[in-house]
A = this chain, B = another copy of it.
Amino acid sequence: MAPEGERATEAAAERSSGKPETTASERVHAGRAMRENDVVLLEMNDGERATFATLRAGKVIDLGKRARAPAEAFLGAPFGSMYEARHNTGEVERIGATTEVINEETDDEEAFAAPLADERSNKNVPNTEHGAQTLTDSEIAALKREFTGEEMVEIIAAYSKTFEEKTAFAQEKYKARKLKKHMTKILARFPSPRVVCEQYFYENPSKTSYMRFDSLSMLMNMANVGAHGQTLVLETCGGLVLGSIMHRMGGFGRICNGFVGTNPTGMEVVQNMNFDPTHYDSVRHASLSGLIEARQKGAVEADTTRAKSMETTEPSTAEKKERVYMKMKFANDGDMSDFTQHGFSSLVIASLSVEPKAVLEQLLPLCASSASFAVWFNASQPLAEAYYYLRNSNLAVNLSLVEPFLRSQQVLPGRTHPVMTTDAGSGGFILSGTYVGGVNTNTPIEANKKPKREENS
Contact = CB atoms under 8 A, between A and B. Distances in A.
Interface in A361-408: 380-381, 384, 405
Nearest to A107: B107
A380 B382 CA distance: 12
- Identical chains bound together, number: 2
Interface string A111-123: 0000000000000
Contacts of A380: 380-381
A380 B380 CA distance: 9
A405 B384 CA distance: 21
A384 B384 CA distance: 14
Interface residues of A, number: 4
5 contacts: A380-B380, A380-B381, A381-B381, A381-B384, A405-B405
A370 to B, nearest CB: 30
Contacts of A405: 405
Contacts of A384: 381
A384 B405 CA distance: 21
A256 to B, nearest CB: 33
A420 to B, nearest CB: 15
A381 B384 CA distance: 10
A124 to B, nearest CB: 25
Contacts of A381: 380-381, 384
Nearest to A381: B381
A429 to B, nearest CB: 11
A403 to B, nearest CB: 10
A384 B380 CA distance: 11
A77 B381 CA distance: 52
Nearest to A385: B381
Interface in A329-383: 380-381
Which 5 residue pairs across A and B have the least CB separation, nearest first?
Answer: A381-B381, A380-B380, A381-B384, A380-B381, A405-B405
A177 B20 CA distance: 53
A96 to B, nearest CB: 30
A381 B383 CA distance: 12
Nearest to A380: B380
A39 to B, nearest CB: 38
A275 B358 CA distance: 54
A380 B405 CA distance: 16
A111 to B, nearest CB: 15
A9 B63 CA distance: 71
A402 to B, nearest CB: 12
A381 B380 CA distance: 9
Interface in A81-127: none
A312 to B, nearest CB: 37
A50 B380 CA distance: 37
A380 B384 CA distance: 11
A424 to B, nearest CB: 14
A238 to B, nearest CB: 27
A384 B381 CA distance: 10
Interface string A397-434: 00000000100000000000000000000000000000
A251 B405 CA distance: 42
A380 to B, nearest CB: 7
A405 B407 CA distance: 13
A381 B401 CA distance: 15
